[in-house]
Homo-oligomer: A and B are copies of this chain.
Amino acid sequence: MNMASPRDKIIQAAMELFWLKGYNSTSVADLLSRTQLNSGSLYHVFPSKQDVLIGVLEAYREGIEQMLLEPAWGQVADPIEKIFALLNGYRTMIVESDCTYGCPIGSLALELHEPDPRVRELLAANFANWTAAIERCLDAAGKRIPPDVDKGALAQFVLTAMEGGVMQARTHRDVAYFDRAVTQLRAHFELLEQAAKATA
């Protein structure tokens, strides 16, 4: 039996539709149609469409471990390989979507030009959680990273490479653009590991 509350149904549908079509191009009618709810139910839970967006961003924020990190890291122990396993998870989504995949957070971050403070905070929090997870990997890598490297900045650079790679793969409809970004990042990590060894 289906115990999903109207709220959960709407968040679920909105996560999918905002990802597929974007926020502006998803109408409240789209959400009602997909959830089989009536407008009264939606507006009873969410005073406005923007409140649905806030709910979606909160759901992504709360779900990063379960939805993103655990699936990618289940089989991987090495902390640096965890980083590339996560990136490979994105690669899978790119391929499975015929290169139309966009990072849900990154896409919203660029689509919304004058977001509410609350919305912007949640976008930033999602990025911050993502890079914090990478930074934990870098910390776990210990002396394989030269000690003078700013690990927060390097973690952020991994997100940068992911977002830029996803953007270009999607625009060119060719996963090779993502692969090249990851290859360059991998080369950077190898140079860092060599430098760490040389000064050890």
Contact = CB atoms under 8 A, between A and B. Distances in A.
A174 to B, nearest CB: 9
A111 B114 contact: no
A109 B171 contact: yes
Nearest to A166: B110
A161 B163 contact: no
Contacts of A136: none
B156 A113 contact: no
Contacts of A127: 168, 171-172
Nearest to A114: B21
* Interface size range on A against B: 35 or more
Contact of A160 (B24, B25, B123, B161): B161
A184 interface: yes
A156 B177 contact: yes
Nearest to A179: B153
Interface in A93-132: 100, 102, 106-107, 109-114, 120, 123-124, 127
A39 interface: no
Which of A120, A181, A184 has most chain B Cβ within 10 Å? Answer: A184
Given A109-B170, A164-B164, 19 more contacts: A21-B114, A22-B111, A22-B112, A106-B110, A110-B111, A110-B170, A120-B173, A124-B171, A150-B183, A152-B180, A153-B180, A156-B168, A157-B161, A157-B164, A159-B164, A161-B161, A163-B167, A163-B168, A188-B191
Interface of A: 20-22, 24-25, 100, 102, 106-107, 109-114, 120, 123-124, 127, 149-150, 152-154, 156-157, 159-165, 167-168, 170-173, 177, 180-181, 183-185, 187-188, 191-192, 195
